[in-house]
Amino acid sequence: MARAYLERHFNLSIFAHLGSRIIDLDRRRQVKVKRLSRGDLPDWIACASDLSSLTVAEAKGCHDVGGPAKALDRAWAQARRIDVTADGRKVTVKRVAIATRWGNASAGPSDALISVRDPIDEGDPIDPKDKDALFLGLLRLHIANLIKPLGHVELADSLLRLTHQPFARRLEDDLKRARTLLDEAPVREVDSVPAVGGLVGGIVTRTGPVTNADATPADQEVLARLNLRPVFVGVELDVIRAAVEAEPQLVRSRLVDKKTPDAFARPDRAGGWIIPLGEERHIKGST
């Protein structure tokens, strides 16, 4: 629910999970997430599809009868535990804390509530190249986190290495490796919907990703008939290539708002697509 709120009300579409790690967005340019205090880090750093609106966000749920105020305070404390820095300079971010309480028809609070705190935390002026590196690093992490569980482990790891590599010569080797892996990645297309284009991803069912087989159209129909709700989850090949090549303007042009081509395919405004499969829609290898 919190991520949907961020997508709808803050126009965010590119997300990187922080977990418990400090994240390099571009180690060579010293663009990174910096921990300010002990404790759990916020859930996400995120931005809009035009590579703007850098945001640090933390979401909490609660069941408090008195409302989500205490949960909001905890979320806010967590959202303040990091800065994003470029060459030692603090970057301007919007800090967002969200607390939600579900309504319950049978017991407990009946009213559903959402509470949000979202001020701008002003930073220092930074080099435009550092700013591009920051957003490209965020996009690389977003793509890597999405495609890795879909069977593209080596390609995902190569994207991560591009953010972690501090040495220029080794970065060139990592870039060549990422290009090779991307050229070798199986590219899929949606049957009869050319507007979607080539995608790198995989089929996901109610039981998890299908990563050890190439599901034919007939297989996809069987999965649908068995009520396993197969969907293809993927990222546009051109967006991944632009992220690999560090082309911010190309990323922005590729991530302009797209109209859904039919009632089946759903874009995520970050180059990703979710496409239900079955008798009326299949995913196939590109020709």
Please give the structure tokens belonging to residue 221.
Answer: 């129909």
- Beta partners for residue 103, in sequence order: none
∠ CA 12-25-164, rounded to 5°: 145
Q: Which of 56-65, 76-85, 149-158, 251-260 has the lowest mean pLDDT?
A: 251-260
pTM over 0.75? The answer is yes
Residue 104 has pLDDT above 80, yes or no: no
Q: Which amino acid would we find at residue 274?
A: I
Contact (Cβ atoms closer than 8 angstroms) between residue 44 and residue 57: yes
Residue 129 has pLDDT above 80, yes or no: yes
* Residues 85, 55: Cα–Cα separation, whole Å: 13
Q: Mean pLDDT across the chain, nearest whole number? A: 90
Report the pLDDT value the prediction gives residue 18, as an integer from 0 to 100.
85
Query: For residue 108, what pLDDT band results from cuts at 50, 70 and 90?
Result: low
Alpha-carbon distance of 14 to 45, in angstroms, equals 8
- 131-187 residue pLDDT tens: 999 999 999 999 999 999 999 999 999 999 999 999 999 999 999 999 999 999 999
Amino acid at 80: R
Per-residue pLDDT at 158: 98
pLDDT at 109: 62
Q: Is the pLDDT of residue 259 over 80?
A: no
- Report whether pLDDT(209) > 80: yes
Q: Which helix (H) or strand (E) holds 220?
A: helix 217-225
